[in-house]
Amino acid sequence: MKRLWIAILSLFLVQCSSAPLASKQMATPETVADLQWSEAQSRFERLSNIEYDLSLNLDQPGDEYSGTMKIQFDLSKNDQDLRLDFFEGTVTHLLVNGIALDLSAKKPYWIVLPSAHLIQGQNKVEIAYKQKYSKTGDGLHRFKDPEDSQYYLHTQFEPYDANRFMPCFDQPDLRATIKMQVAVPKHWQVITSVMETRKTAKGPVTIWEFPASPKISTYIYSLHAGPYKVFTDRYQDIPLRLFIRPALAKYLDTKEWFKITKQGLAYFGRTFAYPYPFKKYDQLVVPEFNAGGMENVAAVTYTEGVVPRSETTRSQRRQVAGLLLHEMAHMWFGDLVTMKWWNDLWLNESFATLMASMALSEATEFKEAWQDFAAGTKRGAYAEDALSTTHPIEAHVTRVKEAMANFDGITYNKGASVMKQLRYYMTPAAFEKGVQQYFKTHAYQNTQLKDFIASLQAQTDKDLTFWAERWLKQSGTDQIAASWTCEAGRLKSIGLELTPSTGARFRPQSFEVGLYGDEKGSLKSIDTVRADFVQPEKQTLRGDWACPAAVYPNKNDHAYVNVKLDTKSLDSLKKNLSGLDDALVRSLVWNDLWRMVRSSEMSLKAYIETVENNFAKETDQIILRQVVGTIQSWRGAILSYWPVTTEDQRKAKNDFRLKMEENFLARMKASKSGSDDEKFWFDSFLSVSESPRALDQAYEYFKSGRVSAKFPLDPDRRWSVVHLLKRFGHPKANEVFESARKSDPSDRGQKWALAAEAVVPQASVKEKWIQEFTKKDTQRSLADSQAVMYGLFPLEQLELKAKYEPLFYDYLAKNKKSEEEGRVRTVVFGLLPLRCEGAASGKLKSRLESEKEMNHSLLIAMKKSIEEDERCQRIRAAF
């Protein structure tokens, strides 16, 4: 039967393949930095055996670097011009097969190689060029350390930014080798996908030479350089290196990083039955990085935000370990085997997200990883899937700019959640064998979804073609409901109904139903029963159980569903959720309750009552973070959803917030000195503090330099207090600001200082920063812009923001098609004229409905913000 399903699979390739996208499209205009699928496919059909040889000089004054790129490739047809991607930059010399070409071949975002100078067979191109260093984190980004005035460089290329660094054929299925020679100051390190073979000193400069890399995709090339501090270790015969700026090195727990790295390499090598595929494993913590991490081949980059400047809590350690393992999983799924085109980005990211949690749970000390997955990753998936902007997991991507919009909660979170369900549906052992076959068959190749499904299908009798069609090509979340009635104190049957989301067809899945009985005020597990939905019909589970107090139809979180709790179970759980003996299910129920608020199935008032009934008795750190996250006075939480139209409403909101201030402070003081609990409650206390009493207390902590004997205030928590006092205009705000700025001249300290300056509730302050970041020639980095604009107008300052509505619409009109999308998106969201009020959201919604030219990722992001604002309006109305 297993072999038969592989044969049947071939009949359904149109349904399951990632490749067939529209090919009849207009060519990308020269004024747009984009690449269409049809253009990429045409280029793929013509090109093969690509080799890059890059020489760079990074030891030059000014804002530019120079390079010479030599490209060798085979061409099957020379009847058309050939596009070579190169974003802006300047070409100073261009040779094609030994013939110098006119430099007019350089267009704004690519170079045209004329067909008249190309030949069938092997071609050689040589390009001398100059390019500006990036300040936005894309391409080759340069950062100047404010403490030692040293420069640090790193690259970031996904999805389509390798061509901001060098001329190349920038698409994932044109794998190529790359050699590099890099001139840098003699005290620098240089890191890429392979280890250097030679370093030659020439006066103050050192030439680093790197041999040809493996054949890999351009988006996972990398180059990093600067006077980084390096730490070394080994795993078997694999050199391990860890790079970080010297200013941060003292905060990095290198022992922990190398421990997790070794655990991950051992786990993945064993689980995939394929040893780590590259010759070294480098990890770099780099400044002003745009993401959490990036899976560059054998040279993974991470944001400096993963290095707290304090003793780390278990939660922080678990999050960092998860990130390290996510990027490491990509070395196999993404780097060794790479998607053909960006519509299969989800498969890369969902697999890495899933495998990170598996590795955390099975190979490290963090056995609570699946609870954390449910509370964070999966919760985010459900929230994203409830939006009108949701899309099928396998998105339809006709051009690269559309791919950028799909770095979202569907691609990462839902994809990983559905993969988790698939693993349970076909059994973990069968899933693992299928993955092993996938790597064995497709190493160093580009694949499509059908290739992955075929490898899994060989290990199961279940129809995975049907599974893929229903799960990957439909959006939305199905609903599961259990119905049950006890007779004479016994339960003999449980009815289950799986209802597809609106407009969707039945999706097969397997899950577990948990029964819980009331034992002296606690909810204890009675039994767990598996349910398999392979057909679109109701099911009845039969047995003979003591009458439960609650039934939960997704125990252990295998299903991807919205759980509709029956009335009896809901009442029991709302009254005694903290007494449920399963922390994972408690997390799931808290997710369900908050989702019910957001979808208008439960009033905010009813949710608050549940919080007040259970929160004080809850001790699980993951759940506490979940619940506090629904309270904090920022957007999308109780304190932002609370209606404030009447004086009574405003008083009730303030009374609740004061109660939370007191509760969080009391729980902090009751915690063990220096414990994770004490730190959590301190941070939570700051997150809701507004009263003069709370602000004074925060000032006293800053002044004394510690919260308790074993809890000194680290630099970042000092800045948190400064930011709070500045935000609410405390009399001591300027005093603590100057103290913090003087004691912390680091880059992170400077970013904190920018944020603290900008949050001051004064129109003149807002005007200064808005002018700085809306002008085209700002010399500040994207990271500086984000530090200011993301917190420029906190919740209580939205009225102050209203005066900038005309400026917002003017800026949007002028920059909606900008190639500096990161900068524009940062400003737009700093000024977005939304305040949980119908007229403002209606105006913006109307403006976007007629929009046809805006960058896709910006348009989608604003639509999500409008929908969140409309949700706020509904929740307030139902309060």
List Cβ neighbours of 653 (8 Å cut-off, separation of 6 or more): 639, 642, 644
DSSP 8-class letter at 367: T
DSSP 8-class letter at 58: -
DSSP 8-class letter at 863: H
CA distance linking residue 706 with residue 712, whole number of Å: 4
> The tokens 């698409």 sit on which residue?
171
Cα 763 to Cα 150, 184, 759, 797, distances in angstroms: 36, 46, 10, 10
Q: Are 628 and 635 in contact (CB under 8 A)?
A: no
**Active-site entry in 327, 661, 690, 868:** 327
Strand pairing category for 198-202 and 205-210: antiparallel
Cα 621 to Cα 153, 313, 376, 676, 677, distances in angstroms: 38, 11, 13, 9, 8
3-state SS of 393-444 is: CCCCCCEHHHHHHCCCCHHHHHHHHHHHHHHHHHCHHHHHHHHHHHHHHHCC
Active site residue 805: no
Q: In the structure encoding, which two tokens stand for residue 748, read together?
A: 């992170």
**Cis peptide leading into 159, omega within 30 of 0?**
yes
DSSP 8-class letter at 580: B
Give bridge partners of residue 72 from the DSSP assignment.
51, 124
List Cβ neighbours of 870 (8 Å cut-off, separation of 6 or more): 841
Q: Are 143 and 287 in contact (CB under 8 A)?
A: yes
Cα 683 to Cα 355, 664, 719, 833, distances in angstroms: 30, 9, 12, 29
The CB-side HSE value for 420 (13 A sphere, CA atoms) comes to: 28
**What phi and psi, each to the nearest 5 degrees, are found at residue 133?**
-65, 145
CA 119 to chain centre: 43
CA distance linking residue 330 with residue 367, whole number of Å: 22
Strand pairing category for 281-286 and 299-303: parallel
List Cβ neighbours of 828 (8 Å cut-off, separation of 6 or more): 808, 811, 812, 858, 862
CA distance linking residue 214 with residue 298, whole number of Å: 11
Exposure string for 108-137, b = 16+ CB within 10 A, e = fewer: ebbbebeeebbeeeebebbbebebbbbbbb
Cα 78 to Cα 25, 82, 122, 248, 313, distances in angstroms: 21, 8, 11, 52, 60
DSSP string across 466-521: HHHHHHHS--S-EEEEEE---BTTEEEEEEEEEEPPTTPPP--EEEEEEEEEEETT
Q: What residues are labeled active site?
A: 327
